[in-house]
């Protein structure tokens, strides 16, 4: 009975009583128009802000792993594929399955996945908003604000992921599953949670904790009957284990001191004590506000979502001391693989609809100060951490009024909903402005889109095309003198040629101790020296490197390079070795 009533509520926005001053609300958009507007919001997020990126960050890791998973002869001499971290996931099978069916290369398929799950993210936020405050226009605005929530400093994770990475898909699925619980779709929520496990199991735990608590506190049925909703989740977990999928190595081992120092260098986001103090306390403050908002809304929301209002902030906040204790004090290697503090992303994604929905409800009761307060809290999520990281910690030129945008947007929201019943047309125009404003402010005014870029420069594309056409598939390249540049990783993914070592692949020290040892050795041998000198060529050749890619200022005039452009000159390591005495 409850499920049928909820289904009708989704189909038609919540009605108000006849004596309420909310009866003159602007006409709500039909379902088809609401979905079209959601799609437009997702497109704005894909192509404007927060945008997308490829081969700028983690796709430098996933692309080679996916290519090698599909064809083990590809990149067979690259250490990155010797220690894959696709354990406890069917992500490679899903991506490569789509590639087999469509015949498409990896990038269009990854972009298609990202586009689909951006739409899932905004659809989930819309349904949460619909369940909290009941109006489609308001829920569209809530979905847009969730879409602008990009980078979260500290755990280095995102709500709307710039990169096409599976943790973003699992987060979007978990948020959609939360919306299904709000609308009494428990089986759908559980099925979605099971699907989310197939992408990246470690990211699913915040939703599973909230969902499990909601089943425990229900009173309509016996505990055993309630727990039946966990069956799809258990089936997903068992299927992962039966398939023989394994995570990194030595998950239950302790992190040795040398590896802890390497983690500090390459994965400091796993260590809360290394976070900037502002970055550390922002999620704690927002978590406390989320708990307060849930407490205030408890009488106005269905009981099935109350557990989420309690568990989401608690899981988010306590994930920080949990990570600190097990990662820094006990030094359990599993924590480096799991990265539990990234639960903050789920808390943020869930908090935006709760904060903004609480503000809308307060405005309907003419509690203007309280409404403005909740709007400030809602807008603080896409603005606060990004301002701290991009404008503060990185020393970017600050906008003079950067901290006034949040209260100003909250005032505009207050104006919209104060006019909501008296001037419907004007309020809708202002609402559309309110939907678009965060996109423009965050990108055009504050310039917070540093990661949403494409690392495939024309020069690296020319180099990759030449290598793919002119060198053996098992050739090994090295980029001495390029230091922490991301160009070697871009080259690996585009040329599908092994790279002896590079900075970005060092991020995998989280997942495998053997790889961490190998990467650190190779990094110090080849990349740590800031410049290439000719006397290093024999030693590099002895390491099994076939080709050396050098920056023009460090490249010798003789012999002539095999390939050259404005940024890269390529030589055979053997040819350069002949110019100097061999290493004894």
- Asked whether residue 584 is assigned to any structural domain, the reply reads no
Do 519 and 379 have their domain in common? no
Q: How confident is the model at residue 455 (pLDDT cuts 50, 70, 90)?
A: confident
What is the predicted pLDDT for the residue at 385? 61
Q: What is the DSSP string of 266-320?
A: H-GGG-GGGS-HHHHHHHHHHHHHHHHHHHHHTTTS-GGGHHHHHHHHHHHHHHH
Q: pLDDT tens across 161-195, in order?
A: 988 999 999 999 999 999 999 999 999 999 999 99
- Asked whether residue 237 is assigned to any structural domain, the reply reads yes
Do 441 and 464 have their domain in common? no
**Does residue 299 have a pLDDT over 50?**
yes
Do 423 and 495 have their domain in common? no
What is the predicted pLDDT for the residue at 6? 42
Do 363 and 224 have their domain in common? yes
Last residue of a domain, one of 445, 480, 498: 445
Could you give the percent of the chain with pLDDT greater than 90?
Answer: 66
What is the predicted pLDDT for the residue at 429? 94
Higher pLDDT, residue 454 or 238: 238
Do 156 and 291 have their domain in common? yes
Q: How confident is the model at residue 400 (pLDDT cuts 50, 70, 90)?
A: low
The pLDDT of 250-279, averaged and rounded, is 86
Do 525 and 568 have their domain in common? yes
What is the predicted pLDDT for the residue at 451? 58
What is the predicted pLDDT for the residue at 450? 58
Q: Calculate ∠ Cα 80-499-581, nearest 5°.
A: 130
**Does residue 19 have a pLDDT over 80?**
no
Last residue of a domain, one of 417, 445, 473: 445
Do 435 and 514 have their domain in common? no
Do 437 and 558 have their domain in common? no
Higher pLDDT, residue 451 or 156: 156
- Asked whether residue 74 is assigned to any structural domain, the reply reads no
Question: Is 9 exposed, middle or buried, given 0-12, 13-18 or 19+ CB atoms closer than 10 A?
Answer: middle
**Does residue 368 have a pLDDT over 50?**
yes
Q: pLDDT tens across 506-530, in order?
A: 999 988 899 999 999 999 999 999 8
Q: List all residues 6 or more positions away from 438 whose beta carbon is below 8 Å from its beta carbon.
A: 144, 145, 148, 379, 382, 383, 409
**Number of domains observed in the structure of the chain:** 2
What is the predicted pLDDT for the residue at 89? 84
Q: pTM here?
A: 0.90
What is the predicted pLDDT for the residue at 8? 42
- Asked whether residue 306 is assigned to any structural domain, the reply reads yes
Higher pLDDT, residue 468 or 26: 468
The pLDDT of 345-364, averaged and rounded, is 95
Question: Is 238 exposed, middle or buried, given 0-12, 13-18 or 19+ CB atoms closer than 10 A?
Answer: exposed
Do 420 and 560 have their domain in common? no
Tell me if 85 sits within 8 A of 248, measured CB to CB.
yes
Coil vs helix vs strand at 479: coil
Quote the CA–CA distance of 140 and 399 in Å, as a whole number: 28
Q: pLDDT tens across 110-141, in order?
A: 999 999 999 999 999 999 999 998 889 999 99
Quote the CA–CA distance of 352 and 129 in Å, as a whole number: 9
Do 362 and 468 have their domain in common? no
Quote the CA–CA distance of 78 and 262 in Å, as a whole number: 21
DSSP 570: E
Last residue of a domain, one of 421, 445, 469: 445
Could you give the percent of the chain with pLDDT greater than 70?
Answer: 89
Quote the CA–CA distance of 414 and 422 in Å, as a whole number: 14
- Asked whether residue 467 is assigned to any structural domain, the reply reads yes
The mean pLDDT of the chain is: 88
Q: How far is CA 583 from its chain centroid? A: 46
- Asked whether residue 145 is assigned to any structural domain, the reply reads yes
- Asked whether residue 67 is assigned to any structural domain, the reply reads no
**Does residue 246 have a pLDDT over 70?**
no
What is the predicted pLDDT for the residue at 217? 84
Do 36 and 120 have their domain in common? yes
Coil vs helix vs strand at 429: helix
Quote the CA–CA distance of 130 and 401 in Å, as a whole number: 33
What is the predicted pLDDT for the residue at 25? 64
Quote the CA–CA distance of 169 and 163 in Å, as a whole number: 11
User: Which residue matches tokens 């502002």?
Assistant: 278
What is the predicted pLDDT for the residue at 581? 61
- Asked whether residue 70 is assigned to any structural domain, the reply reads no
What is the predicted pLDDT for the residue at 27? 79
Q: pLDDT tens across 547-576, in order?
A: 999 999 999 988 999 999 999 999 999 999
- Which of 74-83, 100-109, 222-231, 460-469 is the least confident region? 222-231
Q: How confident is the model at residue 248 (pLDDT cuts 50, 70, 90)?
A: very low
Q: How confident is the model at residue 3 (pLDDT cuts 50, 70, 90)?
A: very low
**Does residue 23 have a pLDDT over 90?**
no
Do 432 and 499 have their domain in common? no
- Which of 169-173, 270-274, 403-407, 430-434 is the least confident region? 403-407
Q: How confident is the model at residue 261 (pLDDT cuts 50, 70, 90)?
A: very high
Cα torsion 302, 305, 306, 307: sign: positive
- Which of 10-14, 114-118, 214-218, 440-444 is the least confident region? 10-14
Domain that holds residue 358: 2-47+85-445
């Amino acid at each position: 009975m409850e499920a049928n009533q909820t289904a009708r509520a989704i189909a038609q926005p919540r009605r108000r009583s006849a004596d309420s001053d909310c009866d003159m609300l602007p006409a709500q958009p039909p379902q088809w128009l609401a979905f079209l507007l959601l799609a437009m919001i997702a497109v704005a997020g894909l192509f404007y802000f927060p945008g997308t990126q490829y081969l700028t960050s983690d796709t430098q890791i996933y692309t080679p792993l996916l290519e090698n998973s599909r064809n083990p002869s590809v990149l067979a001499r690259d250490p990155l594929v010797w220690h894959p971290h696709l354990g406890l996931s069917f992500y490679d099978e899903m991506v490569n399955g789509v590639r087999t069916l469509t015949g498409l290369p990896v990038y269009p398929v990854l972009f298609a996945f990202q586009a689909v799950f951006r739409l899932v993210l905004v659809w989930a936020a819309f349904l949460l908003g619909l369940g909290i405050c009941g109006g489609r226009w308001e829920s569209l605005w809530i979905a847009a604000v969730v879409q602008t929530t990009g980078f979260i400093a500290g755990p280095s994770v995102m709500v709307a992921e710039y990169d096409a990475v599976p943790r973003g898909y699992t987060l979007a699925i978990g948020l959609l599953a939360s919306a299904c619980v709000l609308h009494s779709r428990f089986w759908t929520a559980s099925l979605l949670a099971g699907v989310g496990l197939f992408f990246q199991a470690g990211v699913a735990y915040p939703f599973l904790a909230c969902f499990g608590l909601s089943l425990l506190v229900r009173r309509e049925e016996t505990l055993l009957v309630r727990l039946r909703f966990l069956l799809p989740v258990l089936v997903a977990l068992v299927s992962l284990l039966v398939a023989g999928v394994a995570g990194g190595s030595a998950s239950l081992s302790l992190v040795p001191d040398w590896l802890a120092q390497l983690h500090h260098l390459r994965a400091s986001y796993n260590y809360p004590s290394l976070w900037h103090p502002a970055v550390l306390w922002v999620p704690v403050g927002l978590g406390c506000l989320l708990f307060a908002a849930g407490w205030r809304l408890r009488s106005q929301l269905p009981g099935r979502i109350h557990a989420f209002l309690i568990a989401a902030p608690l899981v988010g906040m306590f994930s920080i001391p949990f990570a600190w204790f097990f990662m820094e004090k006990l030094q359990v290697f599993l924590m480096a693989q799991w990265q539990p503090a990234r639960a903050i992303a789920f808390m943020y994604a869930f908090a935006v609809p709760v904060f903004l929905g609480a503000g809308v409800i307060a405005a309907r009761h003419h509690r203007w100060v309280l409404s403005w307060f909740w709007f400030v809290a809602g807008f603080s999520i896409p603005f606060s951490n990004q301002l701290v990281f991009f404008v503060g910690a990185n020393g970017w030129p600050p906008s003079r009024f950067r901290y006034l945008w949040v209260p100003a947007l909250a005032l505009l929201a207050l104006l919209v909903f104060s006019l909501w019943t008296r001037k419907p047309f004007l309020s809708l125009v202002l609402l559309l402005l309110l939907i678009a404003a965060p996109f423009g402010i965050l990108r055009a005014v504050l310039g917070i889109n540093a990661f949403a870029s494409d690392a495939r420069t024309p020069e690296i594309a020319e180099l990759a095309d030449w290598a793919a056409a002119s060198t053996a598939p098992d050739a090994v390249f090295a980029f001495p003198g390029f230091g922490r540049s991301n160009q070697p990783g871009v080259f690996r993914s585009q040329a599908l040629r092994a790279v002896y070592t590079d900075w970005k692949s060092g991020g995998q020290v989280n997942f495998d101790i053997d790889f961490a040892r190998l990467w650190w050795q190779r990094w110090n041998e080849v990349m740590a020296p800031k410049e290439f000198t000719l006397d290093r060529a024999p030693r590099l050749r002895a390491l099994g490197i076939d080709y050396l890619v050098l920056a023009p200022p460090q490249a010798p005039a003789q012999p002539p390079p095999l390939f050259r452009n404005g940024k890269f000159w390529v030589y055979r390591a053997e040819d350069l070795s002949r110019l100097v005495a061999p290493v004894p």
